[in-house]
Structure 1
Amino acid sequence: MQDRQVILDTETTGLNAGSGDRIIEIGCVELVNRRVTGRTYHTYLNPEREIHPDATAVHGFTLEDLLDKPKFAQVVEEFHAFVAGAELVIHNAAFDIGFLEAEYKLLGKPGFMSETGCTRLDTLTLAKELHPGKRNNLDTLCERYGIPNTHRTLHGALLDARLLADVYLAMTRGQDALEIGVETASAAGGQAVDLRGLALAAWTPPAEDLAAHERYLDGLDKEVKGACVWRAEPAAPAA
C-alpha cells in the first residue's frame, strides 16, 4: 500500500477564521512513499471580503487582485479529490485546518477532516520537538536544513508548500532507514537473514544528491557550531 502525503499551505484574508476571515490561496504538493511525485494542486480564491492590510503585507494580495478568481464553492470538489485520504503535512496545522473547516461549514458540509478522511502531521510541532527553544518558522528551518529560499520575498501557498516538502523530508530523513538484523526479525516473528555472502554492487549517487547531502551537513555544522560528527576525521587505528 502506498504511503500518500499532501503538503498543504494556505494564504488568508487575516488571522481569525472564527471572525470571518477567508482563504485566498491553497497550495498542495503530493508525496508518495516520501518522494515528490510532481502532482500539485493550486488555486487562488475570491474571498468575498476585504483583506486585512497586515495580511496583504505578508502575501501581497488585495481583494481587487482576486475578484476574477473562483469562490471556494467552485473548487471544493476538485480540491477534495486531490487531498482525500492523505496524511496532510502542514506547518502550524491548526491554523490552516481551522480555515478549511470554516470554509466547509459555510457550504453546509459536515467538516473538512471528517469528510476528506485525512489525517494530519504538524511540522511545527515536530520542529519544536527536534529543536526545543529555537525559532522554527519556515524561513528558519530552510536555513537550518540548507534549503534555498532566497526567491521567497512574499508568502505564496504553492511556493511555501514546496519549501515545506523539502524541510519535512530533511527533518525526517532518518525515519525511512531499513533495519535488518536478528532482533528486528525476531520481533517481527520472522527469521534472520544472513547477508554475509551477498555481493553488493557499488553505486555512486548522482551529483545533485551529493550536493543536497552537503547542504544538509552544512545545516548540521551550524547547529553544532563546528564540524558535525559525519565530517569528523576517523580516529587512527591503534598500533
Structure 2
Amino acid sequence: MKFYPQDWRADEKLRLCSLAARGLWIEMLALMHRSERYGQLLISGRVPTDAQLAVQVGASPDEVTAMLAELSDAGVFSRAASGAIYSRRMTRDHKKAENARKNGKKGGNPSLGNKKGKSASDKGGLSQPLNSEARGQRPEEANASPREGDFSMVEFTADLCRDAGVPLPDHGAADKNRLTIESWIGAGADRDLIRQTVTQRCANLRTSPRSLAFFDKPVRDAADARRTAQSQLSADTGSLVDRILKRDAA
C-alpha cells in the first residue's frame, strides 16, 4: 500500500473534515487494505455496521456514525452497489497494478508489439532521457501543474467530470479536461470557484456536456467577476484608510 503524505495533505475533501473524522478514515483505509475486495470496507467479507466498525477502531458507535456522516457529506468516499464503502484512490491504484501485472506476464506493454522496430528517431524525435528526479515521479506528477500538485489534480479532474456528467473514455480525454482546469486556475479561478460554477451551470442543462471545455466561458467570467470585486474592495478599503488618516491628521 503506497501512501503519499503530500496527497493526503492536499486532499480538499478530506481537509473539510475534523481531525477525528480524518483519523477514522485512515483506520478505514487500513481495513480496506486487508479486505477481501481491495479498497472496499469489508470485514469477513461483509459490510460492517457502524457498531462493528466502532469495535475495530476503538470508538463508540455514536462517534463512528457521526464521523462517517461527516466523511460522506464531504465526499471523501464512495459506496459500491452492495453498500460497501470504498476508496476511489485505492481501487484505481489496485486496478492499475493488476493491469501492469497482467501485462508483465505477457512480456510487458502489449501495445509495444504493434510498433515493429519503430524507434524515436523513426518518428523524427528524440527519446527523453530520464534523470533521477523524473524516475522518482509517477506519470501524474510529471504532467501535473506545479501550482496544484501531483495526483490531487488528476483526482480533482475525475471528480469534477463525474459531477458534471462528462465522460472520460480514455487517458487522452482526461488529459484535455485536466489541461482545461489548469488553464482556469491560470486565469485566476480556484477549485472551489470552479466546482461552484460548474455545479450551478449543470443545474440548467438537459444533456451532459462532452468535455469540461463546455464550461470555459462561465468559469472565466466567474474568475473575472471575483477579481473585479476584490479590486473594488481593495480600492474601497484604501479610500477608507486615507479618510481615517486625514481625519486623524486634522
Structure with the larger RCO, 1 or 2 (CA within 8 Å, 6+ apart): 1
TM-score (norm 2): 0.27
Q: Which structure shows the bigger proportion of residues in strand conformation?
A: 1
TM-score (norm 1): 0.28
Q: Which structure shows the bigger proportion of residues in helix conformation?
A: 2
